[in-house]
Amino acid sequence: MAFIKKNNMASQKKFGVWMDKHAATVIAKDESIQKGDGDILVLAHIVGEKIAPHSSEKTANNHEKMALAKYFKQIASQLQNATFVHITGTGQVQEQFMHYLAETPQFKNTQTVESTSTKMSDEKLIEMMAQKLQ
């Protein structure tokens, strides 16, 4: 006989993202997975496009904006049916990504939280996100 949780927590999908302007690691805690009580695992490592220098500042700026939007879209594609996303990393890119998610209809009901942290190993990131995604 299968046990079915009656509360909404059973179907919540929680994610953690460590990111800077060039790379991101996506962590998932899916409490609907039958393997255990909210397994946490690394879903993806995403590398943003390197931008070559341009002689025109306007062209460089436009290319950087397009590359950042593509990078955000690649990260967001890993956050299917997210109910909660904790975003951490260096610099201000986390805040930009939070705004991107807020402006994307698929994530309008997703709760987002941000923090600042330095680059860390996958194991350390999983430990950190285990606390943040409870």
Domain-embedded: residue 128: yes
CATH of the domain at 128: 3.30.420.60
Domain-embedded: residue 65: yes
Buried b / exposed e over 53-84, threshold 16 CB at 10 Å, is eeeeeeeeeeeeeeebeebbebbbebbeebbb
* DSSP state string for 31-100: TT-TTSSSEEEEEEEEEPPPPPP-SSHHHHHHHHHHHHHHHHHHHHTT-TT-SEEEEEESTTHHHHHHHH
The number of folded domains in the chain is 1
Domain-embedded: residue 3: no
Q: Which domain holds residue 65?
A: 8-132
* pLDDT for the residue 3: 33
pTM of the model: 0.81
Domain-embedded: residue 100: yes
> What does the pLDDT look like over 38-54, one tens digit per residue?
688 899 999 988 877 77
* pLDDT for the residue 45: 95
Domain-embedded: residue 114: yes
Domain-embedded: residue 2: no
Residues in the chain with pLDDT values less than 50? 1-10, 33-34
* pLDDT for the residue 9: 43
* pLDDT for the residue 37: 53
Domain-embedded: residue 118: yes
- Amino acid sitting at position 107: F
* pLDDT for the residue 38: 60
Find out whether 64 and 36 touch, Cβ atoms under 8 Å: no
Domain-embedded: residue 1: no
